[in-house]
């Protein structure tokens, strides 16, 4: 049975770029909602005082994460001049290609890549009543 995968990325916001990143986060969320139907969750959070922005992604399975990663390089190039990576976290078992890409990107950026591969239990409620 497929297991979910969660990916969280943390970035330091470059001076004076938070407002731009707020707008970009909304645009990216709209784009991903339309173009990545197997991405179950995409959320972004900011701590203006610390100058940090974080993105949370959840996928039903490793294949959904692979599909999400198609075009990720283009999306990252749009934001690289506005923020710099602080580290990544992966929960669950992505594909070897996705994990390899994340390891390579973390090494190139000189940041940590935390992994917790064993899924225990949980749920994502997609609606409220």
Residue 51 lies in a domain: yes
Q: What would the pLDDT profile of 3-18 be if each residue is shown by its tens digit?
A: 999 999 999 999 999 9
- The pLDDT value recorded for residue 11 is 96
Q: How many helical (H) and strand (E) elements, i.e. helices and strands, does the chain have?
A: 4, 5
- The pLDDT value recorded for residue 72 is 74
* Model confidence, pTM: 0.91
129 pLDDT above the threshold of 70: no
User: Is residue 38 within 8 Å of residue 59, measured between CB atoms?
Assistant: yes
Can you read off the two tokens belonging to residue 22? 């707020």
Residue 58 lies in a domain: yes
Can you read off the two tokens belonging to residue 68? 């999400």
112 pLDDT above the threshold of 70: yes
Can you read off the two tokens belonging to residue 122? 């949980």
Residue 121 lies in a domain: no
Domain that holds residue 97: 5-116
Residue 109 belongs to domain with CATH number: 3.30.70.100
Residue 16 lies in a domain: yes
d(CA 78, CA 109): 16
Question: What's the structural domain count of the chain?
Answer: 1
Residue 128 lies in a domain: no
By C-alpha distance, which of 19, 6, 27, 38 is closest to 78?
Answer: 27
Residue 27 lies in a domain: yes
User: Is residue 117 within 8 Å of residue 110, measured between CB atoms?
Assistant: no
Considering the chain, what is the average pLDDT of its residues? 92
């Amino acid at each position: 049975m497929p297991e979910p995968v969660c990916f969280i990325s943390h970035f330091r916001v470059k001076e004076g770029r938070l407002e731009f990143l707020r707008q970009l986060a909304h645009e990216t969320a709209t784009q991903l909602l339309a173009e990545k139907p197997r991405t179950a969750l995409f959320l972004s959070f900011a701590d203006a005082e610390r100058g940090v922005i974080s993105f949370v992604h959840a996928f039903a399975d490793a294949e959904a994460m692979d599909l999400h990663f198609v075009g990720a390089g283009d999306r990252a190039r749009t934001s690289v001049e506005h923020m710099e990576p602080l580290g990544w976290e992966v929960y669950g078992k992505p594909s070897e290609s996705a994990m390899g890409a994340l390891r390579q990107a973390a090494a190139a950026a000189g940041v940590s890549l935390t992994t917790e591969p064993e899924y225990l239990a949980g749920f994502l409620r997609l609606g409220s009543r």
